[in-house]
Amino acid sequence: MQISKILIPSAIALLMGTALIGCGPKGGESTEGTTGSTSGSSEKVSGELNIEGSGTVFPIAAAMTELFNGENPDVKVTVGKKGTGAGMEVFAKGESDIADASRPIKDKEIKALEDAGIEFIEMPIAYDGLCIVVSKENTWLQSITIDQLHKMWDANSTVKKWNEIDPSWPDAPLNLYGPTDAHGTFEYFNETVNGDGENTRQDYSQQAEYDPLIAGVAGDANALGYVGYAYVEQNLDKVRVVAVDGGNGPVEPNGDTILNGSYAPFSRPLMMYINKSKMESNPALKAFVNFALGPNAPEAIRASGYIPMPQETVDIVKAWVEGGNTGSKLSGAKGATLNDLFGAH
Amino acid sequence: MNGALSGANLAHIRKRRLKSQMFGALCGAAAFIAVAILLTLIGKLLVDGLNRVSWSFLTSMPSQMFPAKAGIKSSLVGSMWVMALTILFVVPLGVGAAIYLEELQTRENWFTRFVRINIANLAGVPSIVFGMLGLTLFVYVFGFGKSILTGALTMAILVLPMVILVSQEALKAVPKSFREASLAMGTTQWQTVRRVVLPNALPGILTGIILAAARAIGETAPLIVVGAVGLVTFLPDSVDDRYTVLPLQILDWAQHPRAEFKTAAAAAILVLIALLLVLNSAAIIIRARAQKKV
């Protein structure tokens, strides 16, 4: 960093004027100081922490960071949201401490980490539910099976009308709405419904963001779409959520059914992958991991619209993480509960 | 026969006049639509976000937990760092290159032709390509990491062609007689450029630099590629630090499911537009004053 050393003085001269807008020196203290002094019970740590990964997990990571910084104002945290896949690439380069993920790590990503000599610890932090939504004007659809969804969404599907799926449904066009392939939710849905993360029909209304998706479904009586639970919760005045029948009768998504797994197969854990050797050398990372499994984390998770894990699960995951256990339990695991996966080590 | 001709002529004239009027009406409509879209946009932003703009909005850090208290401090300061450093890097390079092309190497040869063609082409390259270049060159080859330094250097090469072209125009606008008069007094080329040409070209060059600064504040895509990050919980205190910028903060809030963040996004857009308006007005004022002087 020779060059930057030379550049700093000249840059500072130029920044004297612009820094005024930042209002005072080291302004971070002025806002965070109040919260930090009240809750700073345990020893404070300092250092740097880089988190990169899923956009789905970003709100949780950002909310946790905010509360964590309240206790440890001297830790410099960055949180990115390039997506689970991109986050894993950065993680495998050793550039980040934590990779946020809305799906379990893939075999090829594990391979990349092995090649780079990076050991990782898998840490589930919260639950997310995927919801099927229709317009409030839709009177016929109370629940839907995975098989019906598969008929609608499969890559080879030629279904154009509602009554092609079920004759009791109206002879009206079936208008499908979903996210683009940039979203973790896209992969999750296709894997669950069509057996492969990439397998989907192409002629649906592809939305890069969830707001237009919700708006599209809300204004179209013949629409059906899928979105993450966090987005539905904010929009229950605009769209109606449909119960999903995963084989054991229709179940409505809510905090309870998503957590206990009865809202199957559309409830999923969200994860953070931790660089093990960095956790051993970086006290800030260790403190953050403790925070993410600590008593203040549920507040951050709820504020982001997701569902905290029950305390029993948190304790099991905590034992797993503190034991320094590496490798993935979730990769390739279908249907098993977190307690079973992480408890039996 | 004469009468028939003039009758045909009259009809012809009427037709041409009608065409002309239609042309005027169409152009007027086009102008009206452009302004109407802009006003609608700004009006909607003002309705959504004006209440949210306050001093504490500028001086608070973003917040995931308390959207009503969220501010743009980190992104605003990040944008200022990037803009200031970009200008620092681009001014000597851009103005230097322009002086070389306009004042020193006035005779056309293969080299100047090559440079000119390249600059003109670079000005049309999509910004994301500069992002990829910055990622390879500054992040990995030079090892500056995903720092403010990398972001500013990337922005500097992005706006460099623009600064060179505008500076060249400004230098061209200085009458040749000024240079000849100065050189006839026995001055060196350095003295002529410094004392005669540059002062006269300065308003034009400044305009270019300010427009470049405005571009540097508004760009997002290349900065995402070279490592501007969604959330930073600290203010950068050296050029090695990670950072975020205003447009990225706006993107983050605009995509957020909670409605309070949409208001914050509208307010942040208003701040960004206000900044750009100030910069662009400064450019216009400088140009107007320079024209008055000439």
For tokens 């931790």, the residue is: A274
Whether A54 contacts A101, CB under 8 Å: yes
Spell out the alpha helix ranges (H) of A93-220. 107-115, 146-153, 184-194, 210-218
**What is the least distance, in Å, from the CA of A344 to any CA of chain B?**
35
Average pLDDT over chain B reads: 89
Structure tokens at A171: 């002879």
User: Residue B243 corresponds to which tokens in the numbers above?
Assistant: 């950072």
Q: What is the structure's pLDDT at B6?
A: 67
- Same domain, yes or no: A176 and A225: yes
Query: How do A239-245 and A143-145 pair as beta strands?
Result: parallel
Q: Which of B59, B84, B149 sits opposite A4 (nearest CB)?
A: B149
Q: Is residue A146 part of a domain?
A: yes
How many Å apart are CA B210 and CA B89, to the nearest integer? 14
For residue A298, give the CATH number of its domain: 3.40.190.10
Please give the ipTM for the structure prediction: 0.76
Residue pair B263/B175 in contact by the 8 Å Cβ criterion? no
- Please say whether the beta carbons of B212 and B162 come within 8 A: yes
Asked if the structure places residue A185 within a domain, the reply is yes
Residue carrying structure tokens 């960095």: A278
A144 shares a domain with A87: no
**A171 and A197 inside one domain:** yes
Residue A124 in any domain: the answer is yes
Cα–Cα distance measured from residue A237 to residue A254, given in angstroms and rounded to the nearest whole number = 16
Residues in B touching A10 (Cβ below 8 Å)? 88
A108-164 per-position pLDDT tens digit: 999 999 999 999 999 999 998 899 999 999 999 999 999 999 999 999 999 999 999
Q: Helices (DSSP H) in chain B: which residue ranges?
A: 2-49, 55-59, 73-99, 110-122, 127-134, 148-172, 176-184, 189-192, 198-218, 221-225, 246-254, 259-293
Based on the fold, state whether residues A83 and A186 are members of the same structural domain: no
CA dihedral over B82, B84, B88, B91, signed as positive or negative = positive
Percent of chain A scoring above 70 in pLDDT = 86
| Assigned token pair, B12 | 């012809």
CA distance A226 to chain B (A): 15
Residues A316 and A297: their CA atoms lie apart, in Å, by 16
Q: Tokens representing B260?
A: 């309070």
Give the residue from A259, A277, A293 where a domain finishes.
A259
Identify whether residues A139 and A255 lie together within a single domain: yes
Give CA–CA dist B96/B94, Å, rounded. 5
Average the pLDDT over B181-206 and give the result: 91
Is residue A7 included in any domain, yes or no?
A: no
Domain final position from A259, A286, A315: A259
Q: Place A258 in a pLDDT band, splitting at 50, 70 and 90.
A: confident
Count CB-CB contacts under 10 A for residue A129: 23
**A49 — pLDDT class (breaks 50, 70, 90):** very high
Mean pLDDT of chain A: 84
Domains held by chain A: number: 2
Quick one: A233 and A306 in the same domain? no
Query: Percent of chain B at pLDDT above 70?
Result: 96
Of B245, B216, B210, B217, the C-alpha closest to B231 is: B245
Asked if A75 has any chain B CB less than 8 Å from its own CB, the reply is yes
Comparing CA positions, the residue from A137, A310, A331 lying closest to residue A222 is A137
Contact list in B for residue A78 (CB cut-off 8 A) is 229, 231-233, 242
pLDDT tens-place string over residues B56-75 = 999 999 988 888 889 999 99
Record: contact B233-A75, CB cut-off 8 A: yes
Domain that residue A117 falls in: 17-128+268-329
Look at strands A98-101 and A267-275 and give their pairing: antiparallel
Does the CB of A200 have a partner CB in chain B at under 8 Å? no
Q: Provide the token pair at B237.
A: 């205190």
Q: Which of A231, A259, A287 is the last residue of a domain?
A: A259
Asked if B101 and B165 touch (Cβ cutoff 8 Å), the reply is no
Distance of alpha carbon A194 from alpha carbon A201, whole angstroms: 10
